Amino acid sequence: MNARTAALRSGLARGWIEFKQTWTNFDDVVGQVVFTLLLVGTVFFMRNATLPGTSFSLGAATVPGLLGAAVVFNGLSGAAGYLAVDREDGTLLRAKATPHGMLGYLVGKTVAVSLGQVSGVLVTLVPCLILYGSTLAPDGAWSYLHLLGVLAIGLLATLPIGAALGSLTTSARSTGLIVLPVIGLGAISGIFYPITALPAWVQGVAQVFPMYWMGLGMRSALLPDNAVVVEIGQSWRPLPTLAVLVAWAVIGLALAPVLLRRMARREAGSSVAERREKAMQRVG
């Protein structure tokens, strides 16, 4: 077995271990439970409202958008946050010091974050399906296959961008500069209310970024055809959805390796020690 193959195998094993740890760590489990309760509570109180011009539940229509927004948010901020923390505690430096260690590290993080995303969507979706019954996923198995396809392309469109952004951060605290814009995108991407109710120029801005398209893709997978009347052009626009998400995936896959290699070259024992000293000064 050559060194690259060994790094890939160790990365897969590391990703699986880290994923399992998220479901045995008390803080992580509580965070997932709280997020699920907040989302289910939100759509529960929206159950009696309807989409404008239809009799379809606004709460049911909001579920896919929230799932899509969560995928984008966790894909961007989660990947960036992992990188920032691992730079501070020296994990990246240790990975750099071993043959193909960065490859194994990146594979591990990709596996851990991807599995976390899939399990998070599942844990959140199940109570929503119970709440709204056959209203969601009306096409049965095809709806779920469609959902998995959208989730896969969404992860590909967001994780590399998150890694690229994380390589530019200087500390774990600076990831807030990533979180705030992503939250702002959620406000204009038609997550809680149809995007067609927003000004045309806001709709245009939202359509540049992946969050709107992830929400649209999720809605096309989980909602019946009559819910499409509130979408732009009264269409699920599958080809534009695929095109935009693939474009973001290409951008991320082009930028992330370059930025990560540059970040890895700059990692040294002195830089890790300097960041630790600054952190201790802030604590003191």
- How distant, in Å, are the alpha carbons of 30, 106, 169, 171 from that of 86? 23, 12, 12, 10
Q: How far apart are CA 6 and CA 232, in angstroms?
A: 48
DSSP 228: G
CA 178 – CA 11 distance, rounded (Å) = 26
Instruction: Tell me the pTM.
Output: 0.87
Residue with more model confidence, 91 or 270: 91
Mean pLDDT (whole number) for 39-57: 83
Sequence-ordered list of residues with C-beta below 8 angstroms from that of 223, at least 6 positions apart, any chain: 56, 60, 61, 64, 136, 138
Average pLDDT, the chain: 84
Confidence of residue 202 (pLDDT cuts 50, 70, 90): very high
**What pLDDT score does 236 carry?**
94
Helix or strand or coil: residue 57? strand
Whether the pLDDT of residue 102 is over 80: the answer is no
- pLDDT band at residue 77 using 50, 70 and 90 as cut-offs: confident
Per-residue pLDDT band for 201 (boundaries 50, 70, 90) equals very high
> Is the pLDDT assigned to residue 173 strictly greater than 70?
no
User: What pLDDT does 269 receive?
Assistant: 60
Mean per-residue pLDDT for 254-281? Answer: 69
